[in-house]
Chains A and B, each alone.
Chain A
Amino acid sequence: MTAMKVDAKVVMLGKESVGKTSLVERYVHHRFLVGPYQNTIGAAFVAKSITIGDKVVTLGIWDTAGSERYEAMSRIYYRGARAAIVCYDLTDSSSFQRARFWVKELQNCEEHCKIYLCGTKNDLIEEDRSLRQVDYHDVQDFADEIGAQHFETSSKTGNNVDGLFQKVAEDYSNSAFELMPEEKGVDLGQKKDSYFYACCHH
């Protein structure tokens, strides 16, 4: 394991048990763990490289805990993020309210952060349509309003998961070149000061 260069910080946000960790597990390790629900403690960081055209983009993914206990702490996780995947559970309307909260938070504190709304557990809806509590078009309207992308995924089947992260990486790759040519990404081997100098816009 050598020092890894992280290009884009991606943060997972959303109410507890909507499946943020499962989404990351599916994307990074290509697996879906069945078994009792295990809540994330604090946050977990994983780096994943992805090829976009002829470039390699390394996403540094912060999977945050949904519990309210860590809410005061959440800023350290999303500060300087280039993308936020705000998750909600398609079968739980309250989780979408929570997603709106995160969107607001990001709009206030991280204006450069791109927002991706992600409805999870799509496989449950496909099995039984009556379980759906969050309407697709409502979310689409909301996404248009805030200028966000909108996805519905299933970590169990893997449906749309790679597409979501692919899009995140593509958007980064496109925008990084146009908007911030000077930013060379973050070297994990560097001292923290230089890291936060490089990625913190506030």
Chain B
Amino acid sequence: MAADVHNKSAPWEVQNGSLVPVERLRFDRSDSPTPGLVEGTEPGAGQERAMFVHAQSFEDLTAESEAQAEEKSEKDLVLEEPREEAKEDEGEEGRDEDAVKEEEESQRGVRAKEEDITSEAWRDHRKHVFVLSEAGKPIYSRYGTEEALSSTMGVMMALVSFVEAERNIIRSIHADGYRVVFLHKSPLVLVGVSKTAQSDRELTRELQYVYYQIVSLLTLTQLNHVFQHKQNYDLRRLLAGSEHLTDNLLRLLDRDPGLLLSAVMCLPLSSSARDVVSSSLQAAKAKSLVFSILIAGNRLVTLVRKKDQFLHHMDLHLLFNLVNSSSSFREGEGWTPVCLPKFNTAGFFHAHISYVEPASDLCLILVSTDREDFFNLSDCKRRFLERLRKRSAYQVLQEALRAPTYSVSQVGIPELRHFVYKSKSSGLYTSPELPVPYQSVEEQERLMGLYQSLHSCLHHPTRPLRSIYRCGEMENLFAWVTSGFELYLCFSPLGTKALAVSAVNKLLKWIRKEEDRLFILNPQTY
């Protein structure tokens, strides 16, 4: 197997580390994990039913916009400034390698609202995101105040409408090392300005996340309604106080592989304990309950859903973001309307959100269809906790919380620094803690940037790859996608390709061995 891959990899290094697609590898279904495993049998695959909507691939996630885009692709317009072209290409090649994202991000984590938009620091941000209404009114800017940007946003809207007047769609402008990406989702227009190595597709995907974030707060129905009613409505009035949700989401997009892979990470927990938690949650049901979700920080402990109702991982990420970017739910039992846009953009669910204990990281989200059902759900939570304590699973859970992650050294591959493994059929992924060289925010984002660029190579719309090996000065990377899983590995720069390929097998065996701890194999329904 290793040799097989190795041979095929001969012509790989030719251009910029990208690969020709490896021919389909045929392996029989077997218990031993091999890269040929088909969907549903890969390590981490759920045993019976999936928990999530069938969004097994990146294509699925973006299908909606992709289809639209494809349809109109002939008419699509990619504006390029010819004079800058050479410069841009040069810039891109430089970035493709390890030198990506070296720029210091000084203002991370701080809401830099007061920032002067005429300053160099403002211009230096790696990625700007703007949201405006179709009337050109500012709604959100990642950096700087929206008021100060109203003329800039006016220009953006002018560009969009100018191109649309000719029945075209503006998708991106490449100039001076920047990519300006447009996403028009009526009644909103989203614009990303980036000088990272990310492709237009990746940037558009991020804009879609921001769009859904806004929809999750208001519903599309309400959004349409306010703008139909008053075209130049200032949407910031309705979004007041939600800016930090979008800020935090954009940070997650830069750091969390889950949003990239359309997958969710689980809290490592013995399967017996997880089953007790799931069944306790399952028993604490109410008529109006659709989803019961127990999370610990940005990890899923378990999810119980109504039969026939599936949660989309994007909606789950939005819920994670809602809970993790606010201390509001620590205060008492939260009761808030929330729209799950991938489920239904038209209406609100009502979520009972509360921490299991004041100082605990465990947060229970009960998603209900009935806005009058607060006390009933509050009682569900009480019953859940009672049952959990009675079966002494609470102790085990507390124990697991103390070690929410694992070290890559457990796998026993010396050159392996980090990996991300996604089981496609379950929509779950696992990844060890970041080792020493990647612990700073800058390095973490750099590694994520590398994974992102591998991801866009694997999922290239016209010439997708099955695997890719890329050598860099700081690390060597290997990525592999099959019908069952997606795998990204980061090796020390001293590793070799042969080693990387053999590591895949070893790693898959290890994941298979640990799968009942790292994944949710028995998803429950009410």
Contact = CB atoms under 8 A, between A and B. Distances in A.
Nearest to B373: A192
B161 interface: no
Contacts of B382: 1-3
A54 interface: no
A39 B331 CA distance: 11
Interface stretch (A43-51, A119-127, A140-148): A43-51
B221 to A, nearest CB: 12
A25 B331 contact: yes
Interface residues of A, number: 36
Task: Determine the main DSSP class of B at the interface with A.
Answer: mixed
Interface stretch (A62-70, A98-106, A107-115, A159-167): A62-70
A21 to B, nearest CB: 6
Nearest to A33: B327
Contacts of B239: 69
B526 interface: no
B237 A68 contact: yes
Contact of B238 (A39, A68, A191, A192): A68
B335 interface: yes
Given A3-B379, A39-B241, A46 B337 contact: no
A1 B387 CA distance: 12
Contacts of B322: 41
B336 A42 contact: yes
B404 interface: no
A41 B333 CA distance: 11
B285 to A, nearest CB: 14
Interface of A: 1-3, 16, 21, 24-25, 28, 36, 38-46, 61, 63, 65-70, 73, 76, 186, 188-192, 195-196
Contact of B328 (A28, A38, A196): A38
A76 B335 CA distance: 10
23 contacts: A3-B379, A40-B328, A41-B328, A42-B335, A42-B337, A42-B338, A44-B334, A45-B332, A45-B333, A46-B332, A63-B332, A66-B241, A67-B238, A68-B238, A69-B217, A69-B218, A70-B336, A188-B375, A188-B379, A192-B370, A192-B375, A192-B376, A196-B372
Contacts of B334: 41-45
Contact of A73 (B238, B337, B375): B337
Given A69-B218, A70-B337, A41 B374 contact: no
Contact of B331 (A40, A67, A73, A192): A40
Which of B111, B338, B372 has the most chain A CB atoms inside 10 A of its CB?
A: B372
B240 interface: yes
Interface in B213-258: 217-218, 237-242
Contact of A76 (B218, B238, B338, B372): B372
Contact of B336 (A2, A41, A188, A189): A41
Q: Which 3 A-B pairs have the closest CB atoms?
A: A42-B336, A39-B241, A46-B332
Contacts of A73: 337, 371
Contacts of B378: 45, 188
Nearest to A25: B331
Interface in B329-382: 329, 331-338, 351, 370-376, 378-379, 382
A195 B237 CA distance: 34
B326 interface: yes
A38 B247 CA distance: 14
Nearest to B323: A41
A67 B236 CA distance: 11
Contacts of B336: 41-43, 65, 70
Contacts of A66: 241
A140 to B, nearest CB: 30
A63 to B, nearest CB: 7
A101 to B, nearest CB: 14
A42 B217 CA distance: 10
B120 to A, nearest CB: 26
Contact of B333 (A24, A44, A68, A195): A44
